[in-house]
Amino acid sequence: MERTAILHDDGKWRCPWPGTDPFYVAYHDEEWGVPEYDGRALYEKLILDGFQAGLSWITILRKRERFREVFDGFEPGKIVHYGPEKVAALMADPGIIRNKAKVEGTIIGARLWLEIEEKQGFSRYLWDFLDGKPVQNMPRAIGEVPAETPLSQTISKDLKSRGFKFVGPTIVYAFMQAVGMVNDHLVDCFRHAECAELGRKGHPG
C-alpha cells in the first residue's frame, strides 16, 4: 500500500513520515521544506544531515539543541579553531552522536565554509545550482520521492571536490529537502502549497 498523505485530528492532511509524534509533526509543519537562505543555517543543516548518516533524522532532531550548545551555535568562525582537546570533549559528550570522523569533518567543513563565504557566499554557492529557485516536485505518495537525483549528485560531487565530508548524494538530497531547495511535501499535504509560495521569489541575493 502506497504511503500517501494522512489526515490528522486537527483536520490537516500531512506527509506520513512524521507520524503523530508532536515533536516531529512540528518540525514537518514549521521547518522541513522551508527555503533557507542563511549561510550559517545551511552549514548547520548540512553538518547535521552528515551526522544522520546511518541513523534516523528524529534521533538527530532530538539531540539538535545539545549539538548547538557544544558546537558553539554552529558558527564556522569558532568551529574552525577546534583542537584536540575540544574534539576529546565532544567525543565524551553523550548528548550528541559521538563519531570522531564526523566531528573532524565538521571542523574541516567550517574551514571550507569560510573560504566559500568569503569568495561568493555559501548560500549563493548552493542556490546557484538551482538558479536561485526551489525545485517544485509534485509527489502524491512517498514512493514517488527519490533518495537522490542527478542534481544532488552534482552538488555532492562539487562539495566532495572541495573537501567536505559526509556529503554523499543521498545525504545531500535529504539536506535539499530539509532546506527547501526542493519541495517534496506530498501535493495533498497542506504544507506543499505553503512552501511553494515561500519559494516563489527565490534567493534574495
Q: How far apart are CA 28 and CA 73, in angstroms?
A: 22
Give pLDDT < 50 ranges for the chain: none
pLDDT value at residue 203: 92
Long-range contact set of residues 28-31: C-beta below 8 Å, sequence gap at least 24? 28/191, 29/191, 31/178
pLDDT value at residue 205: 75
Contact criterion met (CB below 8 Å) for 170 and 99: no
Contact criterion met (CB below 8 Å) for 79 and 107: yes
pLDDT value at residue 173: 98
pLDDT digits (tens, 9 = 90+) for 160-183: 999 999 999 999 999 999 999 999
pLDDT value at residue 103: 98
CATH architecture designation of domain 6-198: Orthogonal Bundle (1.10)
Q: Map grid coordinates 517534496 to a residue.
A: 184
Domain ranges of the chain: 6-198
pLDDT value at residue 53: 85
pLDDT value at residue 148: 97
pLDDT value at residue 165: 97
pLDDT value at residue 3: 87
DSSP 3-state of 14? strand
What b/e readout covers 22-38, taking b as 16+ CB neighbours within 10 angstroms? eebbebbbeebbbbbbe
Q: How far apart are CA 183 and CA 169, in angstroms?
A: 17
